[in-house]
Structure 1
Amino acid sequence: MTDQTLNAIERLALVKQERMAAQLSKRYGKEKRFRFFGMASIVIGLTFLAVLLGTIFTAGFSTFFSSEIKLTIHYDAAVLGISDLNDEDQVRLADWSQLVKKALKTRFPEVSGRSQSRQLNGLASSISIYTLKDRLLANPALMGTTEDVWLMADDEVDAYMKGQVDPSVPEIERRFNDFQIGLVDQLVASGEMKKSFNTTFFTNGDSREPEQA
């Protein structure tokens, strides 16, 4: 084999090596870009997820707290219309809301008139009657006695407590009027209104009541 032939073979081998090196370099480059774009996609996806969760958490953070009003409840058998707590019909037909209304009236004796009384009674959530019912049925000895009970406030009260009602907005443009705001402010000042952790949000099912939904 001549030197010329050997040089040709060597040049051919060198060309093949260069081509292979170039191909490997391209393949490694593609792999690096694939990894980069893959990692970038994951990072972008996690970033959007974090933003989404953060938005949900910050927007719904107030949901984890609910407003409660402290009322002095007198478990009056005559008001309830119950002579026997073991009688299911009497318990079912009892006017539990009267306990709340009388407690509110006792707290604000100066409130008069049908309109103001209706607005006063609206401070407590309609589901507060079930709290009283459950307490009395669990402890029948409460019948005829008086105790202070923290009851869930109405959703409009809750919105005001969370700063979602602007008192500077004209009253006609608000569902929560100045009279009710005045009542709540009095309760807050006396320590009879507070925000607490909303355990019912995690323990109860769906509800038609906004403050419990």
Structure 2
Amino acid sequence: MFTELFLASVLLVGVNSRYLLVEEPGYYIEQYEDQPERWGSSRVRRQAGALTVNSDGTSGAAVKIPITGNENHKLSAIGSVDLIDRMKLGAATAGLAYDNVNGHGATLTKTHIPGFGDKMTAAGKVNLFHNDNHDLNANAFASKNMPNIPQVPNFNTVGAGVDYMFKDKIGASASAAHTDFINRNDYSLGGKLNIFKTPTTSLDFNAGWKKFDTPFTKSSWEPSTSFSFSKYF
């Protein structure tokens, strides 16, 4: 058991350094077209996908294709690809997303991470407050990790967080996750500043701090900064 715990701990640290295992990405790409005003101004767009290039050398692409719905509910197929150093595949994800007119949503996805294995994730968000200036959401997820490495069994990770945006310009987030198998905790704080935005492009500055602790090792708060350029379609 100790060997399995040690291998899993080392594995998670390694994967975390190139693809954050416990931080679930958002798949809420906007594509609601001309919906009523109650969708909120930040949700009335025609975009069904995005391409993003980051200053740290990573990049990604995401799509969200409506399957069915009405003026109150949407069910969509979603997919994304994350690329890391030298355009290597960091992760590939596919699944389903549900969106509610009031800003609530849920996703069910499967992700493949080269060098690690696969994971199934159920995630949800609840809009706590929204008007022309403020947008506050709470989110949570549960993942079943399925490593393809000998002597490391499947294990679960759960997490939750909050996200806040002011006038679609300034944002902040905080999240925490726990992996019971190796008693690992991950913590993340983040900030975002939109430099400019058009209906099809966005340039953002991101700053964050992350740390983790396990029975074997504990990190300090590690800072990171990056610029992200996104093209929507």
Shorter chain as normaliser: what TM range? under 0.3
Considering fraction of residues, name the structure with more strand. 2
Higher helix share: 1
Q: Which has the higher contact order (CA 8 A, sep 6+)?
A: 1
Question: Normalising to structure 1: TM-score of the pair?
Answer: 0.22
Q: What's the TM-score, normalizing by structure 2?
A: 0.21
